[in-house]
Amino acid sequence: MSSRYAHLQIAPSILSADFAALERDIAAAERGGADLIHIDVMDGHFVPNITIGPVVVRAIKRVATRPLDLHLMIEEPDRQLEDLVSAGASMVSVHVEAVRHLHRTVHLIKTLGAKAGAVLNPATPAGALEDIAMDLDYVVVMSVNPGFGGQAFIPHSIEKLRGVREILSTARSSAAIEIDGGIDTSNVAQVVAAGASILVAGDAIFDTSDAEAATRALRAAAVGSAVGSRA
């Protein structure tokens, strides 16, 4: 298998987990081979929903054995970055639509010791990354509108992934591409072929009777798609 596919990562999103049993659900996903634990931080302003903050992130850090991948769906994220990284975030992504000075925010995340990512909403073109591509550790392509779990995958996201991959290649950026929203075994082959290497999945893992088996199944589908693409 090529190095491109050897670095596929599964990032279960706890937004779809049982919040009364997060330790149990996280442990199950980790047994299934999760590489990251994806945490959505929402403020009720940038998106309608409200989720969690540094206190819960710190609690998750105590029980998770995988790096924490934080997706900030909040206004003025700079005000929260130090607390969130201190609480245990290894990766932090911010929306290009929410940040006035993206270059400054990205470098603040790095200065705090975390990997920095930029997130694109479905209606935001890939071209928004052109001037920041070389500064990023990863890019998050939203394949649903942010704010709630359980939404259907937006098919146009495949073209968005290809566009992001082209921009990163042109910029000679080594940033990974993460896809977030509606990912399951039915579409994982397409997103991997289009360039995604970090796969966020919520309902496909936690809205099942066996999160451990579901995590394994998603990886198998992703790896199978990679093998098939080389045949």
Q: Does position 3 have pLDDT exceeding 60, yes or no? A: no
Q: Is 137 a catalytic residue?
A: no
Band of residue 228 on the pLDDT scale cut at 50, 70, 90: very low
Q: What is the pLDDT of residue 179?
A: 98
Residue, of 47 and 135, whose pLDDT is higher: 135
* CA neighbor of 218 nearest in space, from 210, 170, 23, 51: 210
Give mean pLDDT, residues 59-88. 97
Give mean pLDDT, residues 54-77. 97
Q: Does position 98 have pLDDT exceeding 50, yes or no? A: yes
* CA neighbor of 160 nearest in space, from 132, 146, 175, 180: 180
The 10s digit of each residue's pLDDT in 18-28 is 999 999 999 99
Q: What is the pLDDT of residue 224?
A: 76
pTM of the model: 0.93
Query: What is the domain range of residue 71?
Result: 3-230
Token reading at 26: 């996280």
* Residue 151 DSSP label: P
Handedness of CA 227, 7, 150, 95 (dihedral sign): negative
* Residue 132 DSSP label: T
Q: How many domains does the structure of the chain reveal? A: 1
Q: Does position 225 have pLDDT exceeding 70, yes or no? A: no
Q: Is 18 a catalytic residue?
A: no
Neighbour order of strands in the sheet with 9-12: 9-12, 198-201, 176-180, 138-142, 115-120, 89-95, 68-73, 37-42
Q: Does position 213 have pLDDT exceeding 50, yes or no? A: yes
Q: Which of 25, 69, 137, 180 is catalytic?
A: 180
The 10s digit of each residue's pLDDT in 102-154 is 999 999 999 999 999 999 999 999 999 999 999 999 999 999 998 777 778 99
Backbone angles phi, psi at 47, to 5 degrees: -130, 160
Give the CATH number, domain containing residue 7: 3.20.20.70
Q: Which of 25, 35, 40, 43 is catalytic?
A: 40
Token reading at 61: 């850090």
Backbone angles phi, psi at 51, to 5 degrees: -120, -100
Average pLDDT over the chain, rounded to whole? Answer: 93
Q: Does position 44 have pLDDT exceeding 50, yes or no? A: yes
